[in-house]
Structure 1
Amino acid sequence: MRRLSPIDVAFLRLERRHQPLHVGALALFTPPPGSPPDFAAQLAERLNQSQIARPPFDRRPLSRLGMLYWEDDPHFDLAHHFVHMALPKPGRIRELLAMVSRVHSAHLDRAYPLWRVYLIEGLEDGRIATYMKIHHSVVDGVSGIRLLMKSMADDAAASAAMPPTWEVGSGQRPTPVLAKALTGLEKLKANAASIPSVMQQLRETLRDARARRPDVVTSLRAPRSILNQRITASRRFAAQSYSTERIKAVGKALDATTNDVVLAMCAGALRRYLSDLRALPDKPLIAGVPVSLHRDREQAQPGNEIAFMLVNLATHLEDPLQRFHAIKASVDYSKARFACMSQSELLAYSVAMLAPGVAKLAGGWENMPVNVVISHVPGPRQPMYWQGCQLDGLYPVSLLLDGLALNITLVSRHDRVDFGLIACRRTLPSVQRLLDHLQEALEELEAAVA
């Protein structure tokens, strides 16, 4: 048995009937040229021959004396984890997204390893899709995408001979309890030594906040918004791809990163969406932006290693360039703070910055420390193939919490940036309009820098 980390335990403990805490990814593929009509059925039959699962796909949660552990599943059954299905006609993207919305709402059974993969055929354009969901206690967004990439290759023929994702796994097992305890003692020593540095960074941040520097964001600044309400079990998933070349061109013109531009796109889209609903707060929305703490960008480690950056989305500003520069200043301030800290210091700083806003929740879910979570996950930097099929899109499907009714997650690939939006269907109406607003926000920025 292997004990879970505190953050992984939290993802299991916080789960509710209306609040499943798994993450997922929808991938679109073009089959190889000359593929037979029953290509998907043949692929499903081949994948069904697999009876091996490697970490973290071979473990399930176990509770003993109030403590949570991972244990190896002695009776692994692929039939519980792999599903082959077809979309109802006419097989448009609309039907695909509706299917993902329904399936993503359902919980994973804790009697089994916490993941499931769907192979989907029936798209009207002849493509196939996969949808994979895995509990957030097992992986975070970055390590989840890396796990998917480990079963793909940059060559079609090579990918056709590769094993499925669950057979590749991370290549590492979680640390045993005794070894983790010893590692934990070392971390405690390191954390104790880092307290002075963290306190210094906090003092400087609070000093800047009291001086009302506009680029300093605290967890007490998020305004009340319809984005921050209790959620139901109903979900709406929307997805769209945007040109990496266009986004990078805007970033180059403004001496900014791709992440700065996509945050500005999200801000512009949210401003239009909330304005249409006559629900735009007078104060700027605040985004919580996860920052990966994984040391090795090439290895997919199980578990969660994330901190949070607080970003001013400047949604109160009508001018797109003024809004962009306000967002970039906020991001640059946090980056400068983060650059001065180690991983353990960064995590402690992030928790301390969120603490006042979390305490504010006693007054209701409308008092969230952030209004929306926006996560940017790096994807492949070259064309990729899975089982001989070319990857056309990789759309993340994240989770929702009470008080956070919308999550925007995106994967940046070599030629496209794939946005995945998940929202509570009842709380936020017509959230798919945000896809059009993202396009409009990009065009607005292009026109501003032209």
Structure 2
Amino acid sequence: MKPLSLIDNAFLLLEQRQQPLHVAALCVLQPPPDAPPDFAYRLAERMRQSTGAVPPFNHRLVRRAGINFWEEADDFDIAQHFVHLALPKPGRMRELLAMISRVHAAHLDRAYPLWRCYLIEGLADGRIALYFKIHHALVDGVAGIRLLMKTMGPDAEASLAIPPPWEAYTRRGGKRSLPLPSPALRGVETLRGLARQGVASAAPVWHRLSQSRRDKRAGDPACVDAAQAPRSIFNQNISGSRRFAAQSYSRARVKAIAAHFGATSNDVVLAMCGSALRRYLIDNNALPSDPLVAAVPVSTRSDDGTSGNEVAFALTHLGTHIADPAERLCAVKGCMDYNKAALRSLNPAQLYAYEGLLFAPSLFGLLTGQRRGRTVVNVVISHVPGPSEDLYWQGCRLDGIYPVSVVIHQIALNITLISRNGEIDFGLIGCRRTLPHMQRLLDYLEESIVELEKAIGVTAAEAVTEEA
């Protein structure tokens, strides 16, 4: 048996009836051209023959003397983990997203390994879907999505020889993509790291905090702290119901806008989200006068290395107080540039300490759902790099991979997206009761791209043609 880490235990302790803490991905798949009418049934039968599971998919939670452990289950039951479903007619994406909204709201049974896989047929256009959810205590969101991609091949034939996810080995990374800023959960790790480096290592942390305070007092609009996010309709305690919305947008269009402004694609995505959230809040007569603040994972790598992960949470405002789309993008870019420069001035242990001190005053209320003054952040927005070429799963071409993340008390909306080949796949998950008609954000995201294209004088068709 293996005891759970501090962070893994935290995910179990923080889970509540209204707040399940599993992450998931929805893969939309195109069967091969010669697929028979019962293709999905045959695929499901083949999946049911995979009755073995490797770590972590055979890890079951047990408790001994008040301590949680993972033990390998010797009675693995594929029927508990693999489900074959069919959509109701007419089988549109609307019906698929409604189904995902319902199944994502359901908790995983702790008597079994904490994951479940759904194969879904019945889409009117002949495609099928794979929805895979796994508890955040078992595998983090980014690792789970990467695992799914590792069970895919470069062509249809190669993909048939790859086992299903629960028979494919995975390795947990050292850094985790959390649904909320997590340095306080890593306090022991942070203190040990600083202790090894000596007292002098704390000086850059203090300098960074002092500089941020000076910049904030000087009115630098690019500096965002953990006490400036306004209260909004996104910052309420949530119910157990969920609304999932998903759509793909052209990477070529985003890259054309980014090139014009000297920005990154992530800057453009954040500005798009700011525009969509501004429109949504205006429609609900709930736009705060201060800009919304997002927690955004950013790379802090200062070299060209490819090993390891160097990721931290940054706070950025989304320019929701700005009406002009070009001005909004420039403001978001300035904020992200400030964050990257600040975070890259610290080594990993210093960075964790800096984030812990930055978020500590408000983190308790964020984790427990207790409203204490202003909130830490209004929304979490994560941008995950995905495959750059076509992938296939069990003979089917991957047409989209949409993340389905976590919402928690006081943060009722999570936007996660994956850059994939020529597309950016957005997955939006929110509390159904707290955020009425949340699916309208998809239309507002499209409108935000059009606004920015008009600002630079190009059309969507021109951007795609230039990229090609």
Name the residue aligned to 2:323.
318
1:229 aligns with 2:216: no
TM (norm. structure 2) is 0.88
Secondary structure of residue in 2 paired with 1:131: strand
Name the residue aligned to 2:105.
105
Separation in 2, partners of 1:268, 1:403: 21
Secondary structure of residue in 1 paired with 2:28: strand
Aligned counterparts, 1:14-413, within 5 A:
14-171=14-171, 187=193, 189-190=195-196, 194-291=201-298, 307-358=312-363, 364=371, 367-413=374-420
1:76-97, CA deviations, whole angstroms, 9 ceiling, x for partnerless residues? Answer: 1111111111111111111100
- Deviation at 1:241? 0.5
Aligned in 2, Cα 1:79/1:365: closer, same or farther, shift over 3 Å? Answer: farther
Runs (5+) with no aligned partner, structure 1: 175-182
- Deviation at 1:289? 1.1
Aligned in 2, Cα 1:231/1:137: closer, same or farther, shift over 3 Å? Answer: same
Secondary structure of residue in 1 paired with 2:228: coil
Secondary structure of residue in 2 paired with 1:431: coil
Secondary structure of residue in 2 paired with 1:69: strand
Runs (5+) with no aligned partner, structure 2: 175-188, 458-468
Runs of 4+ in structure 1 off by over 6 angstroms are: 183-186, 292-299, 360-363
Separation in 1, partners of 2:172, 2:219: 47
Secondary structure of residue in 2 paired with 1:410: strand
Secondary structure of residue in 2 paired with 1:157: helix
Separation in 1, partners of 2:377, 2:210: 21
Separation in 2, partners of 1:166, 1:347: 33
1:317-351, CA deviations, whole angstroms, 9 ceiling, x for partnerless residues? Answer: 10111111110111111111121222232222222
Separation in 1, partners of 2:323, 2:82: 48
Aligned in 2, Cα 1:211/1:333: closer, same or farther, shift over 3 Å? Answer: same
Report the more deviating stretch, 114-123 or 202-211: 202-211
Separation in 1, partners of 2:242, 2:171: 33
Contact 2:230 2:290 in 1 (8 A): yes
Separation in 2, partners of 1:106, 1:363: 23
Aligned in 2, Cα 1:92/1:280: closer, same or farther, shift over 3 Å? Answer: same
Contact 1:141 1:377 in 2 (8 A): no
Contact 2:365 2:372 in 1 (8 A): no
Contact 1:54 1:171 in 2 (8 A): no
Separation in 2, partners of 1:278, 1:404: 19
Report the more deviating stretch, 57-66 or 281-290: 57-66
Report the more deviating stretch, 140-149 or 19-28: 140-149
Separation in 2, partners of 1:333, 1:365: 28
Measured on the aligned residues, the alpha-carbon RMSD in Å equals: 2.5
Separation in 2, partners of 1:11, 1:296: 31
Contact 1:366 1:403 in 2 (8 A): no
- Deviation at 1:306? 6.0
Contact 2:245 2:428 in 1 (8 A): yes
What amino acid maps onto 1:268 in structure 2? S
1:144-181, CA deviations, whole angstroms, 9 ceiling, x for partnerless residues? Answer: 1111111011122101111111111305799xxxxxxx
Separation in 2, partners of 1:376, 1:351: 22
1:383-409, CA deviations, whole angstroms, 9 ceiling, x for partnerless residues? Answer: 111011000011111111111111111
Name the residue aligned to 1:177.
none
1:444 aligned residue (426, 431, 451): 451
What amino acid maps onto 2:142 in structure 1? V
Name the residue aligned to 2:425.
418
- Figure out how many residues of one structure are paired with residues of the other and give that number: 439
Separation in 2, partners of 1:297, 1:29: 30
What amino acid maps onto 1:260 in structure 2? D
Separation in 1, partners of 2:12, 2:198: 28
TM (norm. structure 1) is 0.92
Aligned in 2, Cα 1:93/1:121: closer, same or farther, shift over 3 Å? Answer: same
Separation in 1, partners of 2:71, 2:456: 55
Secondary structure of residue in 2 paired with 1:112: coil
- Deviation at 1:191? 6.3
Aligned in 2, Cα 1:145/1:360: closer, same or farther, shift over 3 Å? Answer: closer
Secondary structure of residue in 1 paired with 2:374: coil
- Deviation at 1:48? 0.8
Secondary structure of residue in 2 paired with 1:269: helix
Calculate percent identity across the aligned residue pairs. Answer: 56
Separation in 2, partners of 1:212, 1:30: 52
Contact 2:271 2:318 in 1 (8 A): yes
Contact 1:383 1:391 in 2 (8 A): yes
- Deviation at 1:198? 2.1
- Deviation at 1:5? 2.3
Aligned in 2, Cα 1:161/1:69: closer, same or farther, shift over 3 Å? Answer: same
